[in-house]
Amino acid sequence: MRTQVAIIGAGPSGLLLGQLLHKAGIAAIVLERQTGDYVLTRIRAGILEQVCIDLMDEAGVGTRMHKEGLVHGGFDMLFKGERHRIDMNKLTGGKNVMVYGQTELTKDLMDARAAAGLTTVYEAANVQVHDFDSKNPRVTYEKDGKTHEIQCDFIAGCDGFHGVCRASAPRSAIREYEKVDPFGWLGLLSDTPPVHEELIYANSSRGFALCSMRSETRSRYYLQVPLTDKVEEWSDEAFWQELRLRLDPEAREQLVTGPSIEKSIAPLRSFVTEPLRFGRMFLAGDAGHIVPPTGAKGLNLAATDVKYLFNGLVEYYQDKSEAGIDRYSELALKRIWRAERFSWWFTSLMHRFPNEGEIAQKFQEAELDYLIHSEAGSRSIAENYVGLPLDFGH
Ligand code: FAS
Ligand code: PHB
């Protein structure tokens, strides 16, 4: 079988790239090791930056997002028992974010791909990438007891943090930067009305908490927990009890609890691969980098990697120029490191770090107090949270 671009991974990165390429008349096949249903069971991101929203529109899959997504112009920071609103819309000259779950975004992309009759091979086992340092890269995989081969011009490694593409890059050609945080996030999804109309990020002496949502009837909550915790050790009641202890009196009063429909613990890490290109194989999304979810950047970074890579591939096929694909890694990494820095900073500001003593909490509260009462400080948070423009240049 032959195609122009072989995309490994049917998460948001792979599916968004496939959809953009299709609209540009560039052929691509998506290979995914799981089933589509399994991909949709993973509860992940919830916040879309404007650049991601625009890309969904460019891919022609934004209808349900605009109908069901919730536009948010701000969020609350809770510390020392008091909430303070960051008015992103005012501080950024009118920018907002949208609450629209990654599950829904992925479903929209899956449905569009199926409706266009495009090939996605689910349950593709033992995917391997070959000869990506030549002009004739190949991908092999196993399905229904047979080994299949795809010849292509390019391989897009959209296969996430545990994928095969980054692992296949020559060790001598790759540099990996990593910082693992000494805690995780215990997430709970429930069909209960959100505790507040916008998100609440809480810095409490007991640990970080986040009150988010997926709609006006479905809530998403997170608690910072030790890495040694196991999700089965957390009953729903224990979760709600701990969340109450980390909230302010008003939110505690407003909180509507109910049975969890999903509960999981995610580790927090900062991770970046340099470069993001190995011959004719490119890494995009979590395959190339991971951010702690505090800044809601993971999914949005994946979307902008895809846009930069898509632009380069269009330039290659339509203008016969390699300038775009040559520039991909440098362009994407510039934006990636900005988001990594914000996500690390926000995580450091809001979480309890072991062995740092009570003085660390006092430092955090003093910084939060400064930021909330400084227009420059609040604007810095707002600008980073709504996301940098695609072509932010400097
Ligand atoms: P993904 O990991 O989503 O997709 C990669 C796909 O490749 C998967 O479907 C996988 O099955 C497939 N794959 C892997 N290896 C393969 C192989 N060898 N062959 C074929 N297919 C293969 N971001 C936020 O902004 N906010 C959050 O709250 C948040 N929470 C998260 C919680 C968890 C537990 C995790 C892991 C991530 C979270 N993220 C969050 C980040 C997340 O949203 C990612 O940024 C997003 O899924 C990136 O999308 P992809 O790059 O497509 O990677
Ligand atoms: C979510 O709703 O899953 C979410 C929102 C904001 C974050 C992280 C996760 O910073």
Range 278-289 average pLDDT = 98
**Is 245 inside a domain boundary?**
no
What average pLDDT does the chain have? Answer: 97
Ligand 2 pocket check for 46: Cβ under 6 Å: yes
Range 121-134 average pLDDT = 98
The active-site residue out of 297, 316, 317, 328 is: 297
CA angle, 223 then 292 then 212, to 5°: 45
| Residue 47 to residue 212: CA distance in whole angstroms | 9
Range 321-333 average pLDDT = 97
**Is 289 inside a domain boundary?**
yes
**Is 126 inside a domain boundary?**
yes
Q: Where are the beta strands (DSSP E) in the chain?
A: 5-8, 28-31, 47-48, 70-72, 75-79, 82-86, 97-99, 120-121, 125-130, 138-143, 146-151, 154-157, 175-190, 200-203, 209-213, 219-225, 260-274, 277-278, 281-283, 289-290
Given a cut of 70, is residue 393 above it in pLDDT?
A: no
- Work out the widest C-alpha separation in the chain, in whole angstroms: 64
Given a cut of 90, is residue 389 above it in pLDDT?
A: no
Q: How confident is the model at residue 113 (pLDDT cuts 50, 70, 90)?
A: very high
**Is 221 inside a domain boundary?**
no
224 closest CA partner among 207, 237, 236, 212: 207
Distance (Å) from CA 323 to ligand 1 centroid: 29
Range 190-217 average pLDDT = 97
The active-site residue out of 141, 201, 316, 317 is: 201
Active site residue 201: yes
**Is 260 inside a domain boundary?**
no
Q: Relative to the alpha carbon of 6, which ligand is closest?
A: 1
The active-site residue out of 72, 196, 289, 351 is: 72
CATH of the domain at 101: 3.50.50.60
Query: In the beta sheet, which residues pair with residue 142?
Result: 125, 147
- CA-CA distances (angstroms) from residue 94 to 66, 212, 281, 309? 17, 22, 38, 28
What pLDDT is recorded for position 43? 85
Please tell me the pTM assigned to this model: 0.96
What percent of the chain is predicted at pLDDT more than 70? 99
Range 79-97 average pLDDT = 97
3-class secondary structure, 211: strand
Which atom of ligand 2 sits closest to the CA of residue 214?
Answer: 2
User: Phi and psi of 2, rounded to 5°?
Assistant: -130, 145
Range 184-201 average pLDDT = 98
In this structure, the strands spanning 75-79 and 200-203 are parallel
Ligand 2 pocket check for 268: Cβ under 6 Å: no
Range 294-301 average pLDDT = 97
Distance (Å) from CA 127 to ligand 1 centroid: 17
Ligand 1 pocket check for 20: Cβ under 6 Å: no
The residue whose CA is least distant from atom 6 of ligand 2 is: 296
Structurally, the chain folds into a number of domains equal to 1
Angular region, 23: left φ>0, alpha ψ -120 to 50, beta rest? alpha
User: Phi and psi of 162, rounded to 5°?
Assistant: -105, 20
Q: What is the DSSP letter of 34?
A: S
Ligand 2 pocket check for 92: Cβ under 6 Å: no
What percent of the chain is predicted at pLDDT more than 90? 96
Distance (Å) from CA 357 to ligand 1 centroid: 34
Omega before residue 193 within 30° of 0, cis: no
pLDDT digits (tens, 9 = 90+) for 218-253: 999 999 999 999 999 999 999 999 999 999 999 999
Which atom of ligand 2 sits closest to the CA of residue 220?
Answer: 2
What pLDDT is recorded for position 264? 96
Given a cut of 80, is residue 392 above it in pLDDT?
A: no
Distance (Å) from CA 371 to ligand 1 centroid: 32
What pLDDT is recorded for position 390? 85
**Is 100 inside a domain boundary?**
yes
Cα dihedral value 193, 199, 205, 206, nearest 10: 40
**Is 225 inside a domain boundary?**
no
3-class secondary structure, 308: helix
| Residue 287 to residue 306: CA distance in whole angstroms | 12
Domain that holds residue 116: 5-177+268-386
| Residue 180 to residue 163: CA distance in whole angstroms | 19
Which atom of ligand 1 sits closest to the CA of residue 165?
Answer: 18
Distance (Å) from CA 368 to ligand 1 centroid: 31
Given a cut of 90, is residue 270 above it in pLDDT?
A: yes
What pLDDT is recorded for position 203? 98
Ligand 2 pocket check for 30: Cβ under 6 Å: no
**Is 210 inside a domain boundary?**
no
The active-site residue out of 12, 293, 328, 351 is: 293
Pocket test for ligand 1, best of 37, 159, 294, 305 (most atoms within 8 A of CB): 159
* DSSP per-residue string spanning 35-63: -HHHHHH-----EE-HHHHHHHHHTT--H
* DSSP per-residue string spanning 138-151: EEEEEETTEEEEEE
In this structure, the strands spanning 154-157 and 281-283 are parallel
What pLDDT is recorded for position 394? 59
What pLDDT is recorded for position 42? 87
- Residue 77 is encoded by which pair of tokens? 């920071």
